[in-house]
Amino acid sequence: MTQGQAESYRILHEVDLRDYLAGRPKLVTVLGGAPGDWSITEVGDGNLNLVFIVKGARGGVAVKQALPYVRLVGESWPLPLSRAHYEYLALTRQAELAPGLVPSVLHHNDALALTVMELLEPHIIMRKGLIAGTQYPRFVDDVTTFMAQTLFFTSDLALTAAEKKEGIAAFAGNHALCKITEDLIFTDPYRVAEQNRWTAPYLDATAAALRDDMELHVAISRLKLKFMASPEALIHGDLHTGSIMVTGSETRVIDPEFAFYGPMGFDVGAVLANLLMAYFASAGHERAPGERAAFEAWVLETVESVWNGFARKFLDLWRAGATGDAYPVSLFAGEQGAARLEAERQTYMQRLFADTVGFAAAKTIRRIFGLAHNIDFELIEDPKRRAISEARAVRLARGMMVETAAFPAIADVTGAARKLRDWQAELSG
Ligand code: SR1
Ligand code: MG
């Protein structure tokens, strides 16, 4: 699968890419027809990479190539090409652990930082579907299976201590991508940073308040430390709704270039935060009051089902066969041991839920005050309407981060979101 190690990196433009693919017999077979007739379109709308859709007479492929810099910002922000290697490693591992829930890799070239994957068609980026008000009936079951399987089977509950440490080592070099998260999510939104932006002038006072809010600074710093110092499992690392492709009947998780061994709650929190942002953005997309009420109810039900489904599946895996070195079976013998271990499992899940709530809050605030925003809010054209939706999300997020104990169950999160649906923030300007 991996080839071309001797090759040196160059950015592949359309002509080079056509030649490159034409030189790989397996890919020629997938595409079919004459290479000169293949259509090649660059469609990347993410923050970091080039993405090409290539179509031939028989089929299509998606080609992703890492750039040596952050695409969103430009060459002034260099970024290691090695992220393509970690993404390939993660995709391969996730495909073993959650078959059918990630795109299959057809070819990878480390030197070119290039990966060729199956073309997902007619899948769309879930975030775009949510903005359009579409409900996805497969999503809960698929995303909870993906998270339970990938997180449980790469944790100390399933792995031996040696296997786990090998896993940590294999991804330890992906620290430049972790640093992006450490800066953009856990630091910049809470201080003056050149790249920060928000819906001005309406959120000027809220942005200033975040910079002075010491309770929030303590809470975000605790979360940052947890992110940096808790190698619990192989996490996707950027599991927002832009990293999920869907149809009515299929779900695929894409883009794990931020993967490393980190806290599980960071992935689960990312999914919940992005659903909650879709919920708050929805008011800004409605053309008539109440028009999207059914969709909004579905989003909140989905938030609840994602946590509940994930927790149930994770616990089922743990009960069915904990092969890892954590919680040795020999320490929990007999009926009394079994009961005590079950109580401990519940305590573990409660702690994981609190992490999830905190990380979900962090993922929300970064999208409203940091560098990288999301189109759920950005596509609300009227800035005042956008600011109203964003302010509701921020109010919930601050509570979730600073008073996490006030959200002991997922229904507390959705209940608070529901109450904020029509809250009128006092805006600046
Ligand atoms: C500079 S990269 C900005 C963001 O894009 C990615 O999708 C990650 O979320 C990252 O934080
Ligand atoms: Mg991405």
Same-domain pairing of 39 and 136: no
Taking the CA of 47 as reference, the closest ligand is: 1
Q: Where are the alpha helices (DSSP H) in 45-119?
A: 83-97
**Cβ 151 vs Cβ 267: under 8 Å:** yes
Domain holding 243, by residue range, is 124-420
What is the 180 CA–ligand 1 centroid distance (Å)?
7
Q: How far apart are CA 35 and CA 16, in angstroms?
A: 12
Helix (H) / strand (E) containing 337: helix 334-369
Same-domain pairing of 407 and 291: yes
Same-domain pairing of 111 and 90: yes
According to the model, what pLDDT value does residue 174 have? 98
Protein residues placing their CB within 5 Å of the ion ligand 2: 46, 255
Count of alpha carbons within 13 angstroms of residue 71, beta-carbon side: 14
Residue 429 lies in a domain: no
Same-domain pairing of 171 and 312: yes
Would you state the torsion angle of the CA atoms of residues 387, 429, 372, 290, taken in this order, to the nearest 10 degrees?
10
Same-domain pairing of 110 and 157: no
According to the model, what pLDDT value does residue 360 have? 99
Name the domain count of the chain: 2
Residue 5 lies in a domain: no
Domain boundary among 57, 92, 118: 118
Q: For residue 46, which atom of ligand 1 is closest to its CA?
A: 7
Residue 50 lies in a domain: yes
**Cβ 43 vs Cβ 26: under 8 Å:** no
Max CA separation in the chain (angstroms): 70
According to the model, what pLDDT value does residue 6 have? 61
Find out whether the beta carbon of 70 lies less than 6 Å from any atom of ligand 1.
yes
Closest CA to ligand 1's atom 3: 372
Same-domain pairing of 131 and 269: yes
Residue 284 lies in a domain: yes
Same-domain pairing of 355 and 218: yes
**Cβ 374 vs Cβ 274: under 8 Å:** yes
Domain boundary among 98, 118, 138: 118
Same-domain pairing of 107 and 256: no
Q: What is the pLDDT along the chain (429 residues), one digit of tens a residue?
A: 455 456 899 999 999 999 999 999 999 999 999 999 999 999 988 899 999 999 999 999 999 999 999 999 999 999 999 999 999 999 999 999 999 999 999 999 999 999 999 999 999 999 999 999 999 999 999 999 999 999 999 999 999 999 999 999 999 999 999 999 999 999 999 999 999 999 999 999 999 999 999 999 999 999 999 999 999 999 999 999 999 999 999 999 999 999 999 999 999 999 999 999 999 999 999 999 999 999 999 999 999 999 999 999 999 999 998 899 999 999 999 999 999 999 999 999 999 999 999 999 999 999 999 999 999 999 999 999 999 999 999 999 999 999 999 999 999 999 999 999 999 999 998
Q: For residue 79, which atom of ligand 1 is closest to its CA?
A: 1
**Which one-letter amino acid corresponds to residue 122?**
P
Closest CA to ligand 1's atom 6: 47
Same-domain pairing of 190 and 63: no
What is the 47 CA–ligand 2 centroid distance (Å)?
7
Residue 3 lies in a domain: no
According to the model, what pLDDT value does residue 7 have? 80
Per residue, the 3-state secondary structure of 245-300, as one string, reads EECCCCEEECCCCCCEEECHHHHHHHHHHHHHHHHHHHHHHCCCCCCCHHHHHHHH
**Cβ 315 vs Cβ 349: under 8 Å:** yes
Q: For residue 73, which atom of ligand 1 is closest to its CA?
A: 1
Residue 253 lies in a domain: yes
Taking the CA of 237 as reference, the closest ligand is: 1
Find out whether the beta carbon of 176 lies less than 6 Å from any atom of ligand 1.
no
Domain harbouring 324, CATH code: 3.90.1200.10
What is the 330 CA–ligand 1 centroid distance (Å)?
44
Same-domain pairing of 50 and 193: no
Q: Where are the alpha helices (DSSP H) in 75-213?
A: 83-97, 126-131, 139-152, 161-171, 175-184, 204-212
Residue with tokens 């819906």: 199
Taking the CA of 44 as reference, the closest ligand is: 2
Domain boundary among 67, 92, 118: 118
Cα distances (angstroms) measured from residue 166 to each of 155, 162, 174, 183: 12, 6, 14, 27
Residue 8 lies in a domain: no
Q: For residue 238, which atom of ligand 1 is closest to its CA?
A: 9
Q: For residue 184, which atom of ligand 1 is closest to its CA?
A: 11
Helices (H) and strands (E) in the chain, counts: 15, 12
**Cβ 47 vs Cβ 372: under 8 Å:** yes
Same-domain pairing of 311 and 407: yes
Find out whether the beta carbon of 140 lies less than 6 Å from any atom of ligand 1.
no
Domain harbouring 55, CATH code: 3.30.200.20
Q: How far apart are CA 274 and CA 126, in angstroms?
A: 10
Same-domain pairing of 80 and 203: no
What is the 362 CA–ligand 1 centroid distance (Å)?
14
Pairing of strands 244-246, 233-235: unpaired
Closest CA to ligand 1's atom 8: 238
Q: For residue 48, which atom of ligand 1 is closest to its CA?
A: 2
Token reading at 275: 């659903």
Residue 7 lies in a domain: no
